[in-house]
Amino acid sequence: MNNNAEVAFQAALDAQRRGAWPESLTQAQLAIHEAPGEARYHAIVGDALYMLARPKEAARSYEHALKLDPCHVGALNNLAVIYSLDHQYADAEALLHRSLAIKSDQLEAWLNLCSAVEGLDFRENDVVTYARTALTLAPDDPRTQRYLGKALLRQGNITEALNALETAAGQDPRNPDTHCNLGICHLQLDEVPEAIQSFQTALAIDPAHGGTYRALAEFLYQIEDWPAAEEACRHAQNLLNAPIAGDMLLAKILFAQGRYQEGAECHIEARKKENLWFKSNRGIAIPNNRFVLAPVQSVDHWCTQQGTPYRKILPELNWQARPPTLFGTDPSPQTIKPARIPPAYVAEVKNATVLPGHEVILVDNEQVALYNRLIHMQDWGSLREDRTVPLISNDCILTECSPMAQQRIRAGIFMFSEGWSNYAHWLIEQIPRLYLLEQCAEYDGIPLLVNDGLYPQQLESLQSVSAGRYPIQILNSKQRHHVERLVFPTNLTAFIKRRYRPKERADAADGPFHPEAIHFLRQRLLPQYGSKTKPQRRLWVSRKTQIKTGQRRLINEEEIETLFLNKGFEIIFPETLTFKEQVEAFSGAEMIAGPAGAAMINTVFSPPDAKILIFTKNHPQVNFHYFTNIGQIVGFEVAHVCGQSIKNFGVYGFETDFTVECEVAKKAMREFLKI
């Protein structure tokens, strides 16, 4: 052992204990000069550099220490902390697992593991496991309960999260993060007064707690208190050093107040920061897209102004829905008002720009947006912003346009939808557009324009219905495309809401279909693919392969499924079947049951005397009319079995997971299916 080196190292340790970091760094560097191959010396240099706000240099010192001694626990843990702060979460997690494999009872390592993994998508279960392990090591440490509470909150276990966070608050009542997350818990439970109290407590402890202001801004935005939301958001921006997500929230708040230019500029600046971050931290170069702030019109209004061809095929229709049949809930009586289905037409739009995968069409040198869904609904709050249209109002939108494709399209038929990735919306909203086209023979032979990424079953359905009358042209969704002559057939459904405000409930207007759309699908496809035998199959339509939290999973599906298997039902997984096989299966079934989901749209091919039993949750935003309306047109009976919603953090209410009591399912089998 080099005595001079060891003396310098001990001096570095002494300075470290006193918080004299420059002195500690100097002494540690002297130790390295005397003995450069000692891992301990490089590790303490890392400690000093980190405390002197030089994290990149500190990381290099820790990395060098680990080359000399791969089992140096301190270097492993501290380097993991730096990686986490630099958003290198996977690398941080790997280092911490190495450290814990050496010594498993390190409380700080388990807590650092919680910190690293909570930054990764869909890892809430792991954070819960790590936090519970830390809890066994230090049950009185409020940090363990805080990490556990936050993970349970994101996992959707709100009540457990509340208990953990309340315990943390009892152990450390002066931690503003704990009270902020308690406030978020209360909001998830619709306990607004308690949430506000928790936020106020957090700010009383730390008036500069940016996370609380951010949570308040989100809440105030949802309840449409725009001035208060803006004030809270600006506080959060100042305190959190203007994070990208906060900039984007501020842009939405400004846009909602009619400050379109200001909101657009705010969003564009946030996107520039986001692109720069990805380039600097992930090495990903994102193309500089074009942003267009444009007023909105409907296609028919535009065509009338321009004098371009516009042909009405079906008149406006008032649809009177029948009351849904429900088990497991006693809903308050509702007056079901007629729902308006807009007129259906085919129009031509000259020199249009299309954005594959979205319903917006840009015209007039990309200065005007045609957006039928928005115009007909006249309720921007019912639409969900996305990457293509990040900001929406009733009369103006901001679009983010990908680079223009080099090849111009001479003529094409518009077949895009924002819900294209959902099989149900594709089949029931997009395919029936062909009914309108077939009334206009002059468009025969013009290609159907669709975006890339469609499922094989979607393309198969389109090919089956078009039968070669219209070729299919797949467009790159990472580009925008100029179409000289765009043929636009409208949608044959009312425009379905996809987002609800607090306390708002679904009603009959959220999904009526024009009967012609349903009849067209059945008349076109059942002669080709329909079952040729008497309907006698009993189908359980499984969603067990849907594994993501907050995707309308029936959590106890296997338990419910067993009840039906004992009554002669067979399990099918529609996603594994071809389109033809799905039509054949559903058309040959006398009874169909299963959780609500896209595959249930195949009931459109069911026999008129079939019985359909759909499992969902008792939630005001669940649309019980969607499948009921189809049954009303075809003639089959539909009932819904309602279970208990499981609230998931960050997931819209009607999309949450749920459970159904077996006794409720048995009652529906007896009284509705008569088995």
| Amino acid 242: pLDDT | 66
Whether 196 and 225 have beta carbons less than 8 Å apart is answered as: no
| Amino acid 551: pLDDT | 73
- The values of phi and psi at residue 396, to 5°, are -155, 145
3-state secondary structure of 338: coil
**Helix 210-222 with 244-256: angle, nearest 10 deg:** 30
SS3 of 32-57: the string is HHHCCCCHHHHHHHHHHHHHCCCHHH
| Amino acid 415: pLDDT | 97
Task: Give just the sign of the alpha carbon dihedral 115, 117, 118, 120.
Answer: positive
- The values of phi and psi at residue 45, to 5°, are -60, -40
SS3 of 280-301: the string is HHHCCCCCCCEEEEEEEECHHH
Query: Which run of H or of E encompasses 269?
Result: helix 260-282
In the block, which residue shows the tokens 């399912």? 665
**Can you state the percent helix, strand and coil of the chain, rounding each to 5?**
50, 15, 35
CB within 8 A of 416, min separation 6: which ones?
354, 355, 356, 357, 358, 359, 449, 450, 451
| Amino acid 547: pLDDT | 61
Q: What type of residue is 569?
A: F
Nearest Cα to Cα of residue 497 among 481, 510, 483: 510
pTM of the model: 0.84
| Whole-angstrom distance, CA of residue 615 vs CA of residue 25 | 64
| Whole-angstrom distance, CA of residue 675 vs CA of residue 667 | 10
Give the angle subtended at the CA of 395 by the CAs of 391 and 401, to the nearest 5°: 45
- The values of phi and psi at residue 608, to 5°, are -60, -25
| Amino acid 282: pLDDT | 64
Q: What type of residue is 487?
A: V
In the block, which residue shows the tokens 């896209």? 598
Query: Which run of H or of E encompasses 300?
Result: helix 299-306
Q: Which residues of the chain have pLDDT under 70?
A: 1-2, 121, 242, 281-283, 331-333, 495, 497-500, 502, 547-550, 647-653
